[in-house]
Amino acid sequence: MYKELTFYYGAMGCGKTRKLLGTRYSKIEDGFSVAIMKPQIDKKGGDYILSRENDKVKVDFLIKDKDNIYLEISKYLTKKNLDFILVDEAQFLKKKHIDELASVVDILGISVICYGLRTDFKGELFEGSKRLFEISDNICEIERQCSCGRKKMFNMRLVNGKPVFLGEQVAIDGVDASYEAKCRYCYNREFKENDD
């Protein structure tokens, strides 16, 4: 059976982490060995991943910018077997990390399933997401419906309950800011109403 790099993406609150945890439970139940990783920049939960339903699982690898994922997994394989790697908040990874994950798939023979956002609060691709769109074997959208009926695509950043459209690309949900997923139409309407 050949191995694949898969990217599940969606707006905030669409159930990406819930899907990751469900996949983890299923794979373990089926007898596979599974490791979870996430970028260290995701400060929420520290070395745990947290779902909105308060499920909490410790990660096996907390990835720093300078880390080489391929080398980390190669070392890990000298002690343990590994069938699947599940990556939470994959949008925060660097391009080089995504390429290293592809090497984990192609050379080490481990399937990698990434979960993350497509775009930031300005509607622009994250570096990790961009690379995943470029090289993934499978790309799957997890959809949720906006209150107006359209598909949620945008992650509107809120500070003190008010939409903001300027600032650094990364502000962690529940730590630095909060977010509300919107469709393009509703996002643009909020942007026009709040544009000074």
Q: How far is CA 87 from CA 105, 120, 180, in A?
A: 13, 18, 23
| Element spanning 16, H or E | helix 16-29
Distance CA 129, CA 98 (A): 9
Distance CA 114, CA 121 (A): 20
State the catalytic residue, choosing from 4, 29, 53, 89: 89
Backbone Cα Rg of the chain: 17
Residue 187 · residue 58 · CB < 8 Å: no
Q: How far is CA 16 from CA 6, 103, 116, 118, 173, in A?
A: 13, 24, 7, 12, 14
Active site residue 89: yes
**Catalytic (active-site) positions:** 89
